[in-house]
Amino acid sequence: MTPHRDPTKGRPSRTRRRLRTLVASLALSLPMMAACQSAPTAGFENVGFETVASGFERPLGVVPNGDLLYVLEQTGAIRIVDGGEVLPEPFLDLSDRVSTGGERGLLGLALGPLPVGPDGPEEAFVHYTDTAGDTVLARMPIRDGRAALDAATVMLRQEQPYGNHNGGQLAFGPDGMLYLGLGDGGSGGDPLRAGQDPDTLLGKLLRLDVSGAPYAIPEDNPFADGGGRPEIWALGLRNPWRFSFDTASGDLWIADVGQNTTEEVNLLPAGAEGGANFGWSVLEGDRCFRADDCDRSGTVPPIAVYDHDDGLGRSVTGGHVYRGAALPSLDGAYVFGDFVGGTVMLVRPPGDDERPVAPTLLARPGFPVASFGLDADRELLIVDYGGRLLRLVAE
């Protein structure tokens, strides 16, 4: 049970067995991992992992709201962390509406619209897999500090042909638009050829104007006038597991889980036009995936790649560009991880002619790295799928 399975063969049953063993072993090893292992990295502080809160059920994400932190549980609840304490009443509970097997569940939360009012965000937007196994994007007002589920509106539904590659991330960009990442629909090897098909939302990054209900199409979306689904902003993605916007530059970073050999991180500079094609399933990372079709023309090369035999992992988890104060040597570096490898890595943007680069190993905490987030001070938070929320700190 994982937000993104080991993607090497597209065999869910074998992967479930391996990851069940992994999670079971974590229950035994967590008491011994309090300090976590830090990998000595030239030019950077040694880092550690400070526990912020624990006791979560399969947590997949964390979203800040001022000094509060909202932790997403795969099973459908969004827990509120206040000063390190997990409040008894959740921000939202979708447990009776969510299917939670494998890569399904409550996958994304965004608070908005932007900019927020003086009393904080007015609405909650959630992305989840419903009991039929399909993608749902819904919005609801926030009342008295809780999401009002009784007033929820379903904005978008997308049929999911398989049980994996649901994507997950939901976030507002600096432009005030709502972005949603969807995987290619699942199985293995993109049998539907969804990544390159502009007539499906699968394998895409969507961009929506939510200033009205349920949503409108931004005029500068690449297919706003035809030629594809108008919600699409970028295409050629396999299973984007977490994207984020640099809080300083507005650049968009997207981690895309690989298939047989390669994990990748993509970068779109702030102000880039829509329609970027990241290549899946013609390409996997920077390599040809289909021997009979490897036309790279029009594709955007990844900013960084690593292979499954590099010892870094097999299922990338997207992070954030570090802009905090506790770790000054990391300023401007994109910090991310790997779910299967239990690693934390970083990369700095190279020149366009140098793409892709290899990431630098920062630490081996050893737990399944499910997601990253930022607190009110822009310090980096890390979600341990075993049930903890941690903060990256200097040792």
Tens-place pLDDT, residues 10-47: 434 334 433 443 443 343 333 333 334 555 465 677 89
Residue extents of the structural domains in the chain: 12-394
**What is the model's pTM?**
0.91
pLDDT, average across residues 194-210: 98
Q: What percent of the chain has pLDDT over 70?
A: 89
- Residue 363's pLDDT is what? 96
- Residue 350's pLDDT is what? 84
Report the chain's mean pLDDT, rounded to a whole number. Answer: 90
The total of other beta-carbon atoms located within 10 Å of residue 357's CB is 17
Give yes or no for a contact between 57 and 389, defined as CB atoms under 8 angstroms apart. Answer: no
Q: Is the pLDDT of residue 292 over 70?
A: yes
Using CA atoms, how far apart are residues 371 and 319, in angstroms rounded to an integer? Answer: 7
Using CA atoms, how far apart are residues 14 and 61, in angstroms rounded to an integer? Answer: 25
pLDDT, average across residues 287-303: 92
- pLDDT tier at 339, thresholds 50, 70, 90: very high
- Residue 42's pLDDT is what? 55
Q: Is the pLDDT of residue 354 over 80?
A: yes
The total of other beta-carbon atoms located within 10 Å of residue 38's CB is 19
- Residue 41's pLDDT is what? 60
Q: Is the pLDDT of residue 1 over 80?
A: no
pLDDT, average across residues 364-392: 98
Q: Taking the domain 12-394, which CATH number applies?
A: 2.120.10.30
Q: Which residues, 6 or more positions from 326, have their beta carbon under 8 angstroms from its beta carbon?
A: 379, 392, 393, 394
